[in-house]
Structure 1
């Protein structure tokens, strides 16, 4: 294993860090104030100018589409960062220190995964219509997979129907936790549904591109995460009711939804985990500063043994999670997603649990302040906690890891890499 970063990545680290210091951290108060003002004016689901202005700045400085890997850059005609998974990982960590910052660099979910999916599997027509404006940041997108009626932790349960009728596909289904569907800029959905219920289990599902203005799409409501509705991005409950799209909107071909999902979710999990590591680093930084400035029982909180123990444990856990994630990224680069499947599953268990614990300790060190939005910790915790579900719950990944481990000794069977959202 060689985790030495290239000169290009080191330079980008410095540039992204400098951008965060100069523009993103100082804008956190503006972001909160603008969101509050929009809420008071009844315009909560309106794009925030705080972010839009920073996007223009990031684009002008060449800090744009850094997530776009070499292979996707080649087929899309856009260079982006042109980085490997290992090279992009430390940049995702820096951006992840502020949950909304990745959007500033056009590196936020679910757009990154959707752009890579269209770049790899979309026709020239689909790329021209959707990929170009997504890469330029003119529109946003959503990934419609999770369903309320079934346990979507097992994606074979998904029951939305995608049925061929002549030159069209007709889509009917009920979805929820569709992140980004509340954004007025959301112009397209990549939708997963069952095209052939009689096919082998992993050949029943397909992915299809659905324009957001297609007749029959009905947004029901935004769902909140521990009290946060994440406007203007949002996580929506929605219906597809006799939604008709051209047959050539099908990605790769009928029955290949799981194949696409594996190509999509592997890199996405690396991105999520590195952003969580950045979030945990920020929480540890805030914990140390707060504990050093507060006095309890005659001495700084930082001098209390329990605080020191938590700070030390947080340092250990963050660094362990980072090294495991870097190994997964490196293995994906040198051997591919399939070979790295166990490492990818492990980081999806380790990183969210680590972040939740570190943020929780930081909240405790902040006292009552840790529970409110005077500090970014409460929202950070809600964000980290969702990622113990998103892209697969802990239990699914642990089961897969155990089966792969038992398989080494002839006491278990191989397992498919988890294909899940919530």
Structure 2
């Protein structure tokens, strides 16, 4: 087994890291200052020149693997981007994760990345022209409407939103929440999951359909804060869909194919979150180490107290182990496909947020009262990472899949 990175993997990681060091890190204060003043839900203007610099540097749309999954519905529309492998992108995404707003600079933000993958893989030529092209160019944003407040959406067969055929249209009725990105006025389209046939087999009841956000009947009822953070201007909306009528041509892939699309979308999306989360953990460890060496308690630097040596050592060990598991999952996706890597994706989806939350918690403790304030990024990072223990499937669902695979191994030996 060769743990060395290839020349291409190292090149893109280093280019992204250098760009962030030169352009993103120095602009962090300006970013937060702009978000804090005026209309918090307006796009952040200072990002636009950085995006142009990223495009010019060839660091744009990095996330799309060149060969991901089954043949595309329409292969005549070229995806405009570098198309890194999952392993190559993992290293870049880790660097982006160290600054919570960095991904947008490279047009690699969720949920746009997952939605672009869906449109690229399952969209028709017309759907790609209408929505994938402007998403690739970064001129619009998008949302993914799946979770619902009235049901346990960890089991997506519970979803109650209805998508009913009416002549040349579909009519949609339902209520979604935690619809990330809907606070941004540039959010122009949503991929909505709902039931087209409640009498079909359990995993063939659901479909996905494209809904322009300005369609009559689409209403953002409220923006949902995460532990008090509103994540403006991105945000997470509770969205009501009331007699929303869209053309039948907006349906993706076909009726009853929603779970098929979801699996194609959520596999890469889950591992993207994990890649960025490793970057968050690296940020927290660096902040913790710096703080511990700069403060004195009981006559010596806090770093010299043995409990902190244990915590810092544990943090480094856990980051290294988690990164290796993440890279293994990414490598399996590249070599054998997303389905073959389901077990590794489930394991990293559980491990990465759990690991990062512990390191963030220790870093907050090291900062004392400052750790829970907005003077440092740790409290906000903790709140964001905590959501990943149920976003894209809760820990319990992934643990269930991992455990069942282990039970199956024993059953095969009996």
Structure-1-length-normalised TM-score = 0.94
Write out aligned runs for 1:173-252 (5 A): 173-252=174-253
Q: What is the distance in 2 between the residues matched to 1:75 and 1:222?
A: 38
Q: Specify the alignment match of 1:19 in structure 2.
A: 19
Question: Does the 8 A contact of 1:3 with 1:326 survive in 2?
Answer: no
Q: Specify the alignment match of 1:54 in structure 2.
A: 50
- Alpha-carbon distance change, 76 to 308 in structure 1, aligned in 2, over 3 angstroms: farther
Q: CA deviation at 1:50?
A: 2.4
Q: Specify the alignment match of 1:138 in structure 2.
A: 139
Q: What do you get for the CA RMSD once the two structures are aligned? A: 1.4
Q: CA deviation at 1:52?
A: 2.1
Q: Specify the alignment match of 2:347 in structure 1.
A: 346
Q: What is the distance in 1 between the residues matched to 2:16 and 2:63?
A: 13
Q: Specify the alignment match of 1:44 in structure 2.
A: 40
Q: CA deviation at 1:2?
A: 4.6
Cα deviation 1:11-41 (Å, max 9, x = unaligned): 1111111111111111111111111112xxx
Write out aligned runs for 1:26-37 (5 A): 26-37=26-37
SS at match of 1:237: strand
Q: Specify the alignment match of 1:85 in structure 2.
A: 86
SS at match of 1:148: coil
Question: Does the 8 A contact of 1:163 with 1:171 survive in 2?
Answer: yes
Question: Does the 8 A contact of 2:77 with 2:125 survive in 1?
Answer: no
Q: Specify the alignment match of 1:272 in structure 2.
A: 273
Question: Does the 8 A contact of 2:13 with 2:88 survive in 1?
Answer: no
Q: What is the distance in 2 between the residues matched to 1:134 and 1:145?
A: 20
Q: What is the distance in 2 between the residues matched to 1:146 and 1:370?
A: 32
SS at match of 1:70: coil
Q: What is the distance in 1 between the residues matched to 2:206 and 2:156?
A: 9
Q: What is the distance in 1 between the residues matched to 2:65 and 2:285?
A: 30
SS at match of 1:289: helix
Cα deviation 1:338-375 (Å, max 9, x = unaligned): 11111110101000000100011011111111111111
Q: Which moved more, 1:331-340 or 1:179-188?
A: 331-340
Q: What is the distance in 1 between the residues matched to 2:295 and 2:186?
A: 44
Q: CA deviation at 1:4?
A: 3.8
Q: Specify the alignment match of 1:150 in structure 2.
A: 151
Q: Which moved more, 1:8-17 or 1:167-176?
A: 8-17
Residue 68 (structure 2) pairs with residue 67 (structure 1):
no
Cα deviation 1:230-254 (Å, max 9, x = unaligned): 0110000011101011111111100
SS at match of 1:192: strand
Structure-2-length-normalised TM-score = 0.96
Q: CA deviation at 1:304?
A: 0.8
Large movers: runs of 4+ above 6 Å: none
Question: Does the 8 A contact of 2:204 with 2:258 survive in 1?
Answer: yes
Question: Does the 8 A contact of 1:223 with 1:235 survive in 2?
Answer: yes
Q: Specify the alignment match of 1:417 in structure 2.
A: none
Q: Specify the alignment match of 2:256 in structure 1.
A: 255
Q: CA deviation at 1:405?
A: 1.0
Q: What is the distance in 2 between the residues matched to 1:109 and 1:273?
A: 12
5+ unaligned residues in a row in structure 2: which ranges?
none
Q: What is the distance in 2 between the residues matched to 1:12 and 1:4?
A: 15
Q: Which moved more, 1:313-322 or 1:64-73?
A: 64-73
Question: Does the 8 A contact of 1:171 with 1:242 survive in 2?
Answer: yes
Q: What is the distance in 2 between the residues matched to 1:75 and 1:142?
A: 25
Question: Does the 8 A contact of 1:110 with 1:179 survive in 2?
Answer: yes
Q: Which moved more, 1:327-336 or 1:3-12?
A: 3-12
Q: What is the distance in 2 between the residues matched to 1:31 and 1:350?
A: 31
Question: Does the 8 A contact of 1:183 with 1:233 survive in 2?
Answer: yes
Instruction: Tell me the matched-pair count.
Output: 408
Cα deviation 1:372-397 (Å, max 9, x = unaligned): 11111111101110101100111111
Q: CA deviation at 1:75?
A: 5.8
Q: CA deviation at 1:193?
A: 0.3
Question: Does the 8 A contact of 2:183 with 2:223 survive in 1?
Answer: yes
5+ unaligned residues in a row in structure 1: which ranges?
413-422
